Structure 1
Amino acid sequence: MTVSCQASVCGRPGRAATGLAGGLSSVNSAWIERGLTSRQTHFLDLIVDFIAKNGWIRMQHLYKAPFTDRGLIDDFFTDEEIEELRVVFRTLRTRAEPADLAA
């Protein structure tokens, strides 16, 4: 699950997608070693799509459609895995802000 930033789309969503590649993919790599179910994979794909479209995500988004269409995040992931996502999302929002606004 790698998202790349092309030169023509490196606005806020582009920077977020680049951060996603480093953050969520590292979480995903650890989870792949443990084995992901098809439902978990689908849920992570929804997250990637949302971030690619919006540039960032908050945990509260995961408790609304389309994320809830097949169940709640709590049904797919452990509390520890959900906390890992929370940390990645926080980091992603920080990286998505332009440097002059982040200061």
Structure 2
Amino acid sequence: MLLKPSDLSNAAYDCHIIMETLKGEPVLILKKKTDSPMNWCVIQRFSTCFFATRKEAIDFCEKHGCSIPKPPRGGIKIAKNDSSADRLAAVQTKTHIQTWY
């Protein structure tokens, strides 16, 4: 399954960047669609941090060992073996974004 940032956007947030940890776990950088003091959001697993600028969000991710992987054409490959566990992780990540915002 290939995911693009636009696949993870919702009514409140646009996903701008998909990064990954050293373990290959997805880290999302989203921007709130309405103006607020902390427009940028970083989501990793079930943790969420908010930032005033895109640069602050990216710097935070890089400081904590995340990087933008070189994706295959079409997006980031989430399911390595197309196993049910990998598909479930992708669904849980999208559900987390939809239910928290």
TM-score computed with the length of structure 2 as normaliser = 0.28
Q: Which has the higher contact order (CA 8 A, sep 6+)?
A: 1
Structure with the bigger percentage of strand: 2
Higher helix proportion (structure 1 or 2): 1
TM-score w.r.t. the length of structure 1 is 0.28
